[in-house]
Structure 1
Amino acid sequence: MQSAFNYLTEEQQKQIEQAVIDAEGKTSCEIVPVLATSSGRYDRPEDIVGLWLTVITALCFWYFFPHAQGQAGDWGGMPVFVELILAALAMVIAFILGAIAGSQIGWLRRLFTPRQQMQDEVAARAREIFFDKRVHHTEGGTGILIYISLFEHIAIALADQAVIDKLGQPFLDQICQKLTSGLQSGEPAETICEVIREIGEQAATPLPRAADDQNELQDVLVLID
Structure 2
Amino acid sequence: MAENNTAHPSFARWWRQVLFVPLMHSKWLTVAAKARLTAKVTSAERGHRGEVFLIIENHLPIQQAYHMGCRERAIDLFSEYRVWDTEENTGVLVYVNICEHSLEIVADRGISAHVSPTVWRAMCDKAVAGIANQKTEESLLELLDEVGQVLRQYYHLEHDPAGNELSDTVVYLK
TM-score (norm 1): 0.61
Aligned pairs for 1:108-119 within 5 A:
none
CA contact (8 A) 1:30 1:144 kept: yes
Cα distance per residue 1:107-140 (max 9 Å; x no partner): xxxxxx9xxx79x521111111000001011111
- What's the counterpart of residue 46 of structure 2? 25
Equivalent residue of 2:155, what SS?
coil
Gaps of 5+ in 1: 44-112
Q: What is the aligned partner in structure 2 of residue 223 from structure 1? A: 172
Distance 2:100 2:163 in 1: 35
CA-CA distance at 1:212 after TM superposition: 4.4
Contact 1:5 1:224 in 2 (8 A): no
CA distance in 2, matches of 1:42, 1:154: 19
Q: Which of the numbers 77, 88, 100 marks the counterpart of 1:129?
A: 77
Cα pair distance change 1:13/1:213, threshold 3 Å: closer
Query: Equivalent residue of 2:113, what SS?
Result: helix
- Structure index of larger Rg: 1
The answer to whether the 8 Å contact 1:29/1:143 transfers is yes
Task: Give 1:85-164 correspondences, 5 Å limit.
Answer: 120-164=68-112
Give the distance between the partners of 1:187 and 1:136, measured in 2 at CA. 30
| Secondary structure of the structure 2 residue equivalent to 1:167 | coil
Distance (Å, rounded) in 2 between the aligned partners of 1:185 and 1:160: 30
Using the TM superposition, name which of 26-35 and 160-169 deviates more: 160-169
**Equivalent in the alignment of 1:57:** none
Q: How does 1:1-225 map to 2 (within 5 A)?
A: 1-2=21-22, 7-41=28-62, 120-209=68-157, 211-212=160-161, 214-225=163-174
Percent sequence identity is 22
Q: Which has the higher helix share?
A: 1
Higher relative contact order (CA 8 A, sep 6+): 1
**1:135 match: secondary structure:** coil
Aligned-partner Cα distance in 1 for 2:54–2:34: 10
TM-score (norm 2): 0.78
Any idea what SS the aligned residue of 2:103 has?
strand
RMSD: 2.4
Kindly tell me the number of residue pairs found equivalent between the two proteins: 152
